[in-house]
Structure 1
Amino acid sequence: MKTKNILKYLLLIILMLQVNSCVSTDAEQKFEDSPTERLNKQKKELDDLLLSAKDGWKAVYYTDDNQLGGFTHLFKFLPNGKVDMASDFDDDTEKHNSQYEIQLGSTVSVVFTTENKIHLLSDSGNSPLAAGKGFLGDFQFLFYGQENGDLVFKSNRTVKEVRFVKATPQDWDDLKGNTIMNKNITGDINSPLFRTLETTDGTTVKKYELNYNSVVRFGTAIPLQDGNAETLKLAVAFTPTGITVRPAIIVGSQKLTDFVYNETDKSFVATGTSGAKATIQFTNAPPRLTDDYKLFLEGGGQITIGYIAANLSGAATNSPYAKAILAQVNAALPANQKIARVQIAFNDPLNGNYIAYTFTGGKATIYHFFTTSEDAVNKTIILTDDGWIGTPAARAFLKVLDDEITNPKGLYLKKESFTIFYTNVIYTYASAATPFRLTNYKF
């Protein structure tokens, strides 16, 4: 081999050794820390981050936004594994102190180790959905890093993303306002029975019947118009001024999520641009009107319906307002007497139309006769006084109940699809003037 070639090979070998030496050194530096040491560094990093926020962290925790709304939690992490926590899960929005740990596993996680507000979402004894599942929540959150100043976690059991955003003093002050908004959208016994959602892009209006479950903070909006087959799901979280919903409601080309409460008309309104808007509001009129009332008009044939307290007092279709009216009547009676039935007969061949109020404890039945007419536009039946059996003094305690059934604006009547205890068809009637609704068997 020529000397010239020998020198080329020697130079090539030297270069290869230098390259290998560099690669080996980098690898040694890269894996200088053991896996345990790296996790310990991450553990300290997370703990430092949690402690670094002067006013703590805020998380709106959606445990499953396909069936549950969001619950706002505030955390102020303290030295020695202590944490102050508050939430809008219920009316108690005060701070509660407990403990937390940064734990090592396949990754680093924060674990709330002693009972606090976050555990209300995972309590198996507190299950609004499947028994034993609680609110599908967790109290261990795996750390996935930072993004734009937020701490990004995933729940340990359900792998749902949860973001911790730096809180402000105002967040802590405002938390009580969230519970007020909860009451505003839930309503009270005097609130109208039904809710609607209406959207407009400035030209096209879409209307929906909104069924909202206040316990799980979740609503389903069912379209009311032909040609619109899109059912909307609303996972609701509360703010001091209204609500936010997930997913966003699409109105035209805009996405609306933030609704502001209007104290005047009790509505929640999300406003976009160029006339885009979404409105949630209460109404006494059922969103879907039926012609079921026509069966009860004069000439419609004999038909009797009745509320039987022993079987129907617990029906979910009895409104809280109706229950309060019944309780008020019962409270005016002697202790051994209560309303047993409120039975309404239509087109009876012998006695015409009448309401029969029957009682326990041997009290005699009280009869109120009426005539019927209809409001064909609003699809209600109107029961008009046609005389009583019994003196005014003897029936005075019934006035608060009878006025609801015979209110001049009439009753909405609906044949229901469910049964209770027996196979009898169920009818409900609801006042067109108040949130009064009572459940009845058809006889």
Structure 2
Amino acid sequence: MRKIILFISILSIAFSSCEKEDVEEIFDKSPEERVTEQLNTVRADLMSNEMGWHSTYTYNEGKETLLLLLKFIDDTRVEITVPERGNYKKEAGYSLRYTQQIDLIFETHSFLADLVDKGRKADFRWELEKQEDGQYFFKSRAASNEGESELNMMKATPENLKIAFMKSYMRTDETKSFFRNLELTSGEKYGYSCIDNKVTFKYIEKEKVVIFESEVNMNNDGFVLTTPFVIDGKSISEFEYDSTTGNFSIINADGVDGGINYDVAPAFTVKGVVDQFLDINFKSIIDYSTNLQVAIPVLQDSVPNFNSFQLYSDWGYLLCYAPGTEGGNWAGFSKMNFTKTDEDLLTIGWEGYVYGNWWKKIYYNDGGQLILNFLLDENGLYVIQAGKKEYYLVSKSNPSYYCLVEL
């Protein structure tokens, strides 16, 4: 019995010694040292991949996604490439910090911060939610009223990057024409769009809009419709990308020639849309294409509290809304004439009258002039319904200039 007790005592001392060593090892570093070590590990990992990080950015309450290629050059600089914005590429500053978790923060002059300025419920500050399988999953630090966004990053490889870029080429490039059509050499046109992994073609049949949808399989050279689009008994299913033009050519051998091209006009117009747009007096511009978006920060130099441009089609106003501005919340232009043309276009004319105490800050600002010239173009604007209460206004003169209007 004594031998057993002695043996147990020896084991207890041994285990106690091991536990003490483990405890000492755990607390061998201060909290500050452990945080620094975590930050250095993540920072080194981000900079380790020469091809960068293939990243998916989901924002605007989950309604929009963008492919980003992030190359972390050093511990303060990152190169951001955005294929869907004309292959936008620019360096920006960033930092890794630790609050209650690891935070990734981009500078306020980066592409990501620009999305916040556009009011797209985006963010440029994220906290690390989890790290698994070599991927990083960040969620935004935005306040609840700003909307949440997600940034998911995986190491780029030649294979996943090419497929990801192909997906971005299939989607809207805001630096190019708003209109992208499937155009056959025989003359027929069909409206084209792509969201996620689904392609849509639209056309008019018996005065009604017909919608065809198909999932797609992407490859290094283009994509294939899982459900062929059949026209006059002939099947269209395979498309090849042309990096020079940004267009896709039909390549399946069924006697159909043509492709998906950026175009100067829609494939068709829907009668009555302009009338619907004009039926509601008040409208607010809530978003701009890339070529118009450049006007907003310039305008904010003169009108720091700028919120939006507002259209009053019945009352004849185009106003700039900037709450808290000295001299009043609104200023702009009156006696604006909103008219539907015989071609189902919208024209906006101005008789030269002004409204408010600070209209000069808009009129004599280069950003303000860009927006005015777009809206007042005598060639008119296409009106494209985007949702129950949302419409795009697209310049006929240059369809890369367009805005989204909410009723």
TM-score for the superposition, normalised by structure 1: 0.45
TM-score for the superposition, normalised by structure 2: 0.49
Q: Which has the larger radius of gyration?
A: 1
